[in-house]
Amino acid sequence: MKEGIIRIENLTKIYTMGEMKVNALRGVSLKIDEGEFVAIMGPSGSGKSTLMNIIGCLDKPTSGSYMLDGIAINGLGDNELAEVRNKKLGFVFQSFNLLPRIPAVEQVELPMIYSGVANRRQRAMEALAMVGLSKRAGHKPTELSGGEQQRVAIARALVTNPSIILADEPTGNLDTRVSEEIMVLFQELNGEHGITILMVTHESDIGAHTKRRVNVRDGRISSDELVESPLQATERLKTMPKPESENGNGENGIQTGSAAVAGR
Ligand SMILES: Nc1ncnc2c1ncn2[C@@H]1O[C@H](COP(=O)(O)OP(=O)(O)OP(=O)(O)O)[C@@H](O)[C@H]1O
Ligand SMILES: [Mg+2]
């Protein structure tokens, strides 16, 4: 039996605010294998982000155990947690989290500066090529569309060759077509490059692109099921009207398959 790249058992998280305690997680157990593409769904306040933050080593649980790729995360200090984050995980957020005045290529270089990697420019350009944005490398966030900004953020998450991508509402600020383009990218990263993806979403349409749907309710997992035939984003995209600005230069849309892979 496979060990599971993520294995959490009986996780709880209590936030204490003065006299008040919030039971954000009330005993969550979850095993995720390498190569899975999982949607985490559930109502607002049910504990999805809390769970993702713990899985992402950004926060610690109150109790319970967490193994990530064979490493016992519970016993680690802050520096070791940061190291695990850098080596294994890539993050994508709803609000892109880009720095305002910096060109795309430099945003993508940032995680490599923290970890002291060489060939940073080349690797950043390869990651931008993977998300179909080579021609926007010199653009600052204000000079990019929302979908392009999210693709820069995905390139930044990819550039360190993570085994897992954690995405919290990655399409929350994007319209339908652009969301579908992000799903094209995620399905390609998962299907062709074998990257394990965990994605929080409250949109059932977006969740239907994954292979497995985990529902969280009131701090617990309420259901966990395989998605029988996931929606295929490349197919769906063909049925959606193209935006007015599309000028056919080959880099406005997502390139599938042919793009360079950063070190994989
Ligand atoms: N830092 C914090 N301090 C105190 N309480 C918190 C904190 N973060 C979250 N909570 C509380 O924990 C519960 C779970 O929050 P969480 O952010 O995990 O929900 P969520 O499922 O991600 O919701 P949403 O869909 O709105 O993003 C909520 O009741 C929330 O108010
Ligand atoms: Mg949340």
- Per residue in 92-131, pLDDT (tens digit) is 999 999 999 999 999 999 999 877 888 999 999 999 999 9
Say which ligand is closest to the CA of 46: 1
Q: Which domain holds residue 149?
A: 36-48+87-238
Residue 174 lies in a domain: yes
CATH code for position 98: 3.40.50.300
Q: 263: pLDDT confidence band, cut at 50, 70 and 90?
A: very low
Contact present, 190 and 37 (Cβ < 8 Å): yes
Neighbours of 26 (CB within 10 A): 14
Contact present, 6 and 166 (Cβ < 8 Å): no
The proportion of the chain whose per-residue pLDDT surpasses 70, expressed as a percent, equals: 92
Say which ligand is closest to the CA of 167: 2
Assess whether pLDDT exceeds 60 at residue 68.
yes
Q: Which of 46, 53, 214 to mutate to test the pocket of ligand 1 (most atoms within 8 A of CB)?
A: 46
How many folded domains does the chain comprise?
Answer: 1
Q: Which atom of ligand 1 is nearest to the CA of 13?
A: 12
Mean pLDDT, rounded, of the chain: 91
Q: 1: pLDDT confidence band, cut at 50, 70 and 90?
A: low
Residue 2 lies in a domain: no
CA dihedral 114, 119, 124, 126 (to 10 degrees): -150
Residue 155 lies in a domain: yes
Residue 11 lies in a domain: no
Residue 80 lies in a domain: no
Instruction: Go through 135-159 and write b for each residue having 16 or more CB atoms within 10 A of its CB, e for each that does not.
Output: ebbebbbeebeebbbbbbbbbbbbb
Q: Which atom of ligand 1 is nearest to the CA of 51?
A: 18
User: Nearest C-alpha to atom 24 of ligand 1 is from which residue?
Assistant: 44
Return left, alpha or beta for 66; rule: phi > 0 is left, psi -120 to 50 is alpha, else beta: beta
Assess whether pLDDT exceeds 70 at residue 242.
yes
Q: 30: pLDDT confidence band, cut at 50, 70 and 90?
A: very high
Residue 257 lies in a domain: no
CA of 51 to the centre of ligand 2 (A): 9
Q: Which of 11, 28, 49 to mutate to test the pocket of ligand 1 (most atoms within 8 A of CB)?
A: 49
Assess whether pLDDT exceeds 50 at residue 259.
no
Q: 80: pLDDT confidence band, cut at 50, 70 and 90?
A: very high
Residue 186 lies in a domain: yes
Assess whether pLDDT exceeds 90 at residue 2.
no
State residue 3's pLDDT score: 81
Residues with CB under 6 A from ligand 1: 15, 17, 22, 24, 42, 44-50, 202
Residue 190 lies in a domain: yes
Paired residues of 67 in beta bridges: 7, 72
